[in-house]
């Protein structure tokens, strides 16, 4: 009995070793995709305080947590509306619904407000959470703003959602039913839930914010500086540079046409100090 057991143990260890080795090689060849997250900029008001105060006076029973969520995230939804042509009301309603008004476990521990999963090749920060299946992998963000940006990219970069952008940005009802038609959610009541949130909290008011005026205000309160959106990075070997004698972060940034700040963010550098032979991610 003892000999067969030892033989089984040796075979198991061998197979495990082979599996671990194979996985390591795959990771080495394809390190995956991460998101580089710049610090969020200041955003101007989109009249959210006025809209919320009017709502609260009219209907004191409205959920306070939802009102606070709108107060916090409405400016981000409007900014994304003008960058990606997705109604702010839809983005906000989805954020409220899918993040449990910002207090779901997933939103609190990973700033993931839209339940975006890791998907193939994702090697960025992650958390594991029970959803359709037990222990599914979800993307983790430093800032909630990045979650909003990733949600917009999710809709704009997948062919099945392309027809949605034929709708007017003010036509939130078509967007709500279109999301279900495209297969965004399996819940048959998903459009009705979005529309109820939009109507109960007058979220369609945010679709009316004037684009030019709003974007000018962003520049004004940020001293005219342009803002950087999160950058999706595929970490492969050709995207690295080995520091040579005489190199500086400035000279490297010029060579690869990126900013020094982004170069520091890509490599988690606290200052401009680099050393010969140091490998930097440059794309």
* CATH of segment(s) 238-281: 3.10.350.10
pLDDT over 60 at 63, yes or no: yes
Q: How far apart are CA 96 and CA 87, in angstroms?
A: 14
The pLDDT tens digits for 151-169 are 999 999 899 999 999 999 9
- Residue 48: its pLDDT value, please? 95
Please give the pLDDT value at position 165.
Answer: 96
Record: fold of 48-221 = Lysozyme (1.10.530)
How does pLDDT run across 118-149, given as a tens digit for each residue? 876 677 788 887 776 777 899 999 999 999 99
Q: Where in the chain is the domain with CATH 3.10.350.10?
A: 238-281
| HSE of 125, CA atoms in CB hemisphere, 13 A | 13
Q: Between 46 and 270, whose confidence is greater?
A: 46
Do the beta carbons of residue 257 and residue 282 sit within 8 Å?
no
Specify whether the CB–CB gap between 52 and 70 falls below 8 A.
Answer: yes
pLDDT tens digits, 70-111: 999 999 999 999 999 999 999 999 999 999 999 999 999 999
> First vs last Cα of the chain: how many Å apart?
58
Q: In the prediction, which pLDDT does 69 show?
A: 98
What value does the mean pLDDT take over residues 15-37? 44
**Residue 66: pLDDT over 90:** yes
* Tokens 């060579």, located at residue: 255
pLDDT in tens, 247-270: 888 888 887 788 888 888 888 788
Q: Is the pLDDT of residue 1 over 50?
A: no
């Amino acid at each position: 009995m003892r000999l067969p057991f030892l033989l089984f143990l040796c075979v198991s260890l061998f197979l495990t070793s082979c599996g671990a080795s194979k996985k390591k090689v795959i990771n080495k060849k394809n390190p995956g995709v991460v998101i580089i997250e710049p610090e969020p900029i200041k955003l101007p008001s989109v009249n959210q305080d006025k809209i919320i105060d009017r709502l609260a006076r009219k209907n004191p029973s409205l959920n306070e947590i939802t009102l606070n969520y709108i107060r916090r995230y409405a400016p981000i939804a409007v900014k994304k509306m003008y960058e990606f042509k997705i109604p702010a009301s839809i983005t906000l309603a989805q954020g409220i619904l899918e993040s449990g008004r910002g207090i779901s476990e997933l939103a609190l521990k990973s700033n993931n407000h839209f339940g975006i999963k890791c998907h193939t090749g994702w090697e960025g920060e992650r958390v594991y959470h029970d959803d359709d299946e037990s222990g599914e992998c979800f993307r983790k963000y430093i800032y909630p703003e990045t979650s909003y940006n990733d949600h917009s990219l999710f809709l704009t970069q997948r062919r099945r959602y392309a027809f949605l952008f034929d709708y007017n940005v003010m036509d939130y009802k078509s967007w709500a039913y279109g999301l279900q038609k495209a297969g965004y959610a399996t819940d048959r009541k998903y459009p009705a839930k979005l529309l109820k949130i939009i109507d109960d909290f007058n979220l369609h008011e945010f679709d009316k914010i004037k684009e030019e005026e709003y974007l000018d205000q962003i520049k004004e309160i940020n001293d005219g500086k342009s803002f950087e959106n999160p950058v999706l990075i595929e970490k492969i070997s050709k995207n690295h540079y080995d520091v040579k004698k005489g190199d500086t972060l400035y000279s490297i940034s010029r060579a690869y046409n990126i900013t020094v700040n982004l170069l520091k963010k890509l490599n988690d550098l606290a200052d401009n100090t680099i050393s010969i032979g140091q490998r930097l991610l440059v794309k």
